Amino acid sequence: MTTPLKTSESGSALVYILIAIALLAALTVTFMEPSSQQATSQNTFQTVADLNSQINSIRSSVQECVLNYPAGESGLVGKSNFPYPVNPTSTYLASPDAADEVRNIRCPGNPGGASNNHADIFSGSSGKFLPPAPDLFGEWMYSNTQDGVFFYTATNKTDAFLQTALTKLDEQFAECEADVINASGGAQNLLSGGGLQCAAGNTCFRVWIIARPGNQYNGDTDGDEAACP
């Protein structure tokens, strides 16, 4: 008479175990989804904060150079966007660099006169240091041409939060002050005359210091900057 009772008790215990497993699985899914969303949100926030911090540092340092040395360099009078720094690769410089990296820009007018061997804006002697580029992004690059003066960085990573971060960052700037260039479908020109591109497979974020009429502007992300330039 006791055997059927034991079988029944065993069956009930198995049901409870299966229910417990199902509940545990449901709870795991419930806790994992918000955690993933939270991580994405944190990555987005950190990326925007890191990029914004460096943008402010670069822009303020360049503006400080112009304000402190408004007479610029006598040999550059009449050149593009005087007295803003020329491209680091410019052959005007006594010792041009191999690439137009922001960390290598020099301040015309410091020293001034007939000198073309200007002081670095970012160096130990100036007391200004440019941190490494934010995670997942390349070096900040500088451009001074007939289009104006701007600097930009690029990423070829496909992490989902990056596009959200760049769109949010773009929204923090005035219209036509910054743009996001999507080159996932092929290289995009950054200058009206060509010669400088956001490389294929990359997304570039550019900040304008001076924008001249007719400049190449191709990064409107939300349709509210359609009139640029």
CB-based contact 198:187 (threshold 8 Å): yes
Q: Which of 170, 187, 174 is closest to 221 using CA atoms?
A: 170
Q: Is the pLDDT of residue 3 over 60?
A: no
Q: Is the pLDDT of residue 29 over 60?
A: no
Q: Residue 30 has which token pair?
A: 């419930």
What integer pLDDT is reported at residue 127 of this predicted model? 87
Most confident of the following: 4-8, 81-85, 138-142: 138-142
**SS3 letters across the chain:** CHHHHHHHHHHHHHHHHHHHHHHHHHHHHHHHHHHHHHHHHHHHHHHHHHHHHHHHHHHHHHHHHHHHCCCCCHHHCCCCCCCCCCCCCCCCCCCCCCCCEHHHCEECCCCCCCCCCCEECCECCCCECCCCCCCCCCCCEEEEECCEEEEEEEECCCCHHHHHHHHHHHHCCCCCCEEEEECCCCCEECCCCCCCEECCCCEEEEEEEEECCCCCCCCCCCCCCCCCC
In the predicted model, what is the mean pLDDT of the chain?
A: 84
What integer pLDDT is reported at residue 135 of this predicted model? 86
What does the alpha-carbon distance between residue 195 and residue 94 come to, in Å, rounded to a whole number? 23
Q: Is the pLDDT of residue 200 over 60?
A: yes
Phi, psi (5° rounding) for residue 107? -95, 110
What integer pLDDT is reported at residue 110 of this predicted model? 81
What does the alpha-carbon distance between residue 57 and residue 65 come to, in Å, rounded to a whole number? 12
Q: Is the pLDDT of residue 32 over 60?
A: no
Per-domain boundaries in the chain:
2-211
What integer pLDDT is reported at residue 146 of this predicted model? 93
pLDDT mean over 26-54: 74
Q: Which of 130, 39, 151 is closest to 88 using CA atoms?
A: 151
Q: Which of 115, 210, 196 is closest to 154 using CA atoms?
A: 196
What does the alpha-carbon distance between residue 141 and residue 62 come to, in Å, rounded to a whole number? 13
| pLDDT 10s digits, 204-213 | 999 999 999 8
In 10 A of CB 197, how many CB atoms? 17
Q: Residue 27 has which token pair?
A: 């709870």
Q: pLDDT over 70 for what percent of the chain? A: 83
